[in-house]
Structure 1
Amino acid sequence: MTYIGRFAPSPSGPLHFGSLVAALASFCDAKAHQGQWLVRMEDIDPPREMPKAKQIILQQLEGFGLHWDGQVLYQSQRLDLYQQQIDTWLSLHQAYACRCTRKRLKTIQHIYDGYCSDKNLPTENSAIRFVNTSQQTEFTDLIYGKCAFAAQHCQQDFIIKRKDGLIAYQLAVCLDDVTQGINHVVRGYDLIDTTIWQHTLIKQLGGTPPNYAHVPLAFAEDGRKLSKQNGASAIDIKQAPQLLVHALEHLGLQPPKLLHKESVEQIILWAIEHWQRQKVQNVAVKPPNSV
């Protein structure tokens, strides 16, 4: 089976160093296995989007030698498909409307208790939750090994459409992974605790869950995760060789001291040739929220 991986940035801002680490790991893992590497733009949250971020992100990827296969998929062009799936599940009673407030969710530590499941609420001005009947609480990660999570977290009915009418990440990512035939997902470990939900949705959609590999996050000097929300600086294409080498070091590889003097293309070729998940395992730490 051909390896098909993907990188799926959100256009809430340009790529930062943490994004580069995830993109580079995803790219190298795909190419080291003679696979395809797709790019998907997760542009389903317009209020958080930054103008021209989509173009900037694609320019950054190209400038860092991370060239994708095929056409870029834009989730904003697939909203009707997501809604059709929601409507199908609603008609089959596999989803329901929820009007629980943030205040109420806080009182139950955001572990949903099915409060609205039998209320037959109207879908207008409501969140939509998936009826989660799965008993799965663990999966095997290609970097972290066996990952087990609390049953209450894994088995709760989670949101597939937000109250503000926007499609939730969980549904969009799973429907797209099935559509594109994604069988390997390499990404940051901040997403590891929702992987169980994605297993559940993908199976419900008739697909096979991909092999997941979560890579260690990059942190700022103050200990916070590098993210767009935290104001992480955009990566500069002019510094691509140095940043690529730094990212390889973060992923546990040991690039030659003078590799940053080489061209971006030569650095990427070295990275693919020397890519080993075992190296990433050596720098990985216990994932958040695991039991």
Structure 2
Amino acid sequence: MRSNQKRTYSYWFYLPAGVIYGVIFMVPTVIAFYFAFTRWTLFESEFIGLDNFRQFFAEQSLRIGLRNTLIYAVVTSGLKVVLGMLLAILLTAPIRSRGFLRSVVFFPVLVSTVAVGITFSVLLQPDFGLVATMLGSVGITSPDWLGDPRTALLSVALVDVWKGVGLATVIYMAGILSISKDYYEAVDVDGGGMWTKFWNVTLPLSRPATFTVILLSLIGGLRSFDLIWTMTGGGPGFSSDVIASIIYKQYQAGFFGLATAGNVVLFILVSLIVFPLFRYFNSREVEA
């Protein structure tokens, strides 16, 4: 009897978190799913079934936005994983000014995304931007980074990597510092070098950090909006439009039901990609 009372009592500690989660996440999610099937304004709504979803998928820019969203998420995630790992290895090594360098790497994470977007919009100007000036000093003509459809999306993605790689580095540093030094000493005894330590010790034992970085970066990349909107507004044309920016344009035009349906589509897309990946990573950790 006492053990049952203790078990029941412990469940009460879940209640505050459950209430907050339900109010902040579950209730708005259910309401959004309902309004996705309506034509609504601030004062009234009309149930129209799947019309919003049909119209959303009929949008000319949707295919481009979906492709751009996937490209943006894959490019930013991949670069954050690679650069985060390399920077973490460097910043956990016994080098001079290590603390200062860690601060420098993490600093962009603390800066407002809108401020970063505005700053790089100026720096990447083809006429008077700092990048164009530096390239011009060595005889290279700077392309229109944000005005050329071929480079606009990639330029924003690289700025996203610059801003977010600090968080990936911190996660990797935590994973690397948690590895026992005994493994590295065993490699030294066997006569292995730096590459052997990285390939056989650091890389496999930092797998949980890699999984975390991939998941966080993918979610952020699939949902990205503020940096893209600040730097390019989805242009030129639809060349840097992502699903989130398409949804925002629908809100601006007053198509609230259509935009809500787009949010539901984005929610489902993120879930279909992230949840299976999360289960796969968990199974890999159990096998390890």
Higher-RCO chain (CA-CA 8 Å, sequence separation at least 6): 2
Same fold (TM over 0.5): no
Q: TM-score range by the shorter chain?
A: under 0.3
TM-score if structure 2 supplies the norm length? 0.22
Relative to its length, the structure with more strand (as a share) is 1
TM-score if structure 1 supplies the norm length? 0.22
